[in-house]
Amino acid sequence: MHQSPSSASASASSSSSSCQCSSSQPPNAIDATLLSRFRAKTNMGEGERFQLGTAGALTLSVVSSVSIVICNKALMSSLHFIFATTLTSWHLLVTFCSLHVALKMRFFEHKPFEQKAVMGFGILNGISIGLLNLSLGFNSVGFYQMTKLAIIPCTVLLETIFLGKRFSKRIQFSLGILLLGVGIATVTDLQLNALGSFLSFLAVITTCVAQIMTNTIQKKFKVSSTQLLYQSCPYQAATLLISGPYLDKLLTDQNVFGFKYTTQVTVFIILSCLISISVNFSTFLVIGKTSPVTYQVLGHLKTCLVLAFGYILLQDPFSWRNILGILIAMIGMILYSYCCTLENQQKAVDAASQSSQAREGESDPLINVENGSAVVNDSVGRQLAPVWSKNKD
C-alpha cells in the first residue's frame, strides 16, 4: 500500500518518539534512582562519622584506663592507700560534680527519663563494683582473673537468650582465642573456696547485666552516654559511699577514716579522681557505640597493655607465659576487630540495598501506559486488564 510523505514522516516521528521513550527511564524512576544514590552517600557519611566516633571512644577508654591503673598502683602499692571501694565512690562523686558543671555550661542537654530504670541501673552498677572487689579479696589473683574472663561468655549467653542476638562462628572463634591468650598471660593459680566462688558468680552476673543495660537503656530511651552517666552517677556513688568503708574494712582490716592523709597521698587521690572522669565517660561511650562484648574485649587489651607497661616502666617480673599469652590475645583481638568490621560492612550494604529497593517500589506508577494501553498495577505486582484501548474495534 502506497504511503504519503506526510504519513511516512509522521510514522518516522512516531517511531523515533517511541524509541526515545523506550530507551529512557520515566521521570519518577530517575528521581527515585537519584534519591537512592543520595541516601546511600548520606548513610555512608554517617557510617564514617560513626566509625570516627567509635575509634575516638576506644582510644580514650584505653588511654584513660591505663593511666588510672598506673596512678592507682602507685597510690596503693607505694603510698599504701588500699581502700579501693571507697576510692571508686569518690571517683563517681567527682564525675557527677564535673558533669553537673558541664550541664550548667550547656555542654550537653539534660534529658530525664524513667526514674525507676535509672535508679535500678545505678544501684546495680554500684553493687557490681563492690562484688568485684569482694571477689578479689576472697579469692586468689588467678581465680579473680578467671572471673573477669568469664564475663565475655556470660554476656554472649545472656544477650543470646534474652535479647535474641546472634554471634557468628567467626566472632565466637576470635573470642575464644582472645580468652585463651589472656588466660595464659594472667591466670597463675586457681585456689578455690565456696564463699569466694559464690561472690565471683554474683560479680559476673551483675557486671554482665549492668553492661547490657548500659547499651539497651541508651537505645531504648534515646539518651546519650553523657546523659545516662549524669543521671545514674548519684545512685552509683551513693551505693558505694555507704558500702565502701565497710567493704574496705572487711577486706583490709583498716579504717579509711583513720588513714594518715599526707600531701602526696592527697595529690594522687585527686589525680585519680580527675582521670576517673574520662574513664567513666569513655566506658558509657564505648558500650553505647559498640556493645558490652566489645567493651570487655577492650578491657582485656588494657590488661595486656598494663602488663607490658608494668614490665617496661616498673620492672615487674615478666615470664614467657606473659609474652605468649599477650601475643595470642592480640591475635584474638585483631581477628575480633576484623570480623566485626566485615559484619558491620555487610549490614550496611544490606540496609542500603533494602532502602534502595523500597524506594524503587514506592516510585512505581499506579498506571503505566504501554502501546496506547493503560495497565493498572495492583499491590501484589500482577497486571490487571486494560481499562481502555486505543485500537479497540
82 has pLDDT over 50: yes
pLDDT at 23: 44
What pTM was estimated for this model as a whole? 0.72
pLDDT at 49: 42
pLDDT at 361: 62
What is the identity of the amino acid at 13?
A: S
pLDDT at 317: 73
The CA distances from residue 102 to 53, 90, 105, 233, 285, in Å, are 20, 18, 5, 14, 16
Distance CA 336, CA 180 (A): 14
Q: Which among 303, 305, 297 is positioned nearest to 151, based on CA atoms?
A: 297
pLDDT at 360: 67
What does the DSSP assignment read for 369-388? EETTEEEEB-TTSPBPPPS-
4 has pLDDT over 50: no
Average pLDDT of every residue of the chain: 81
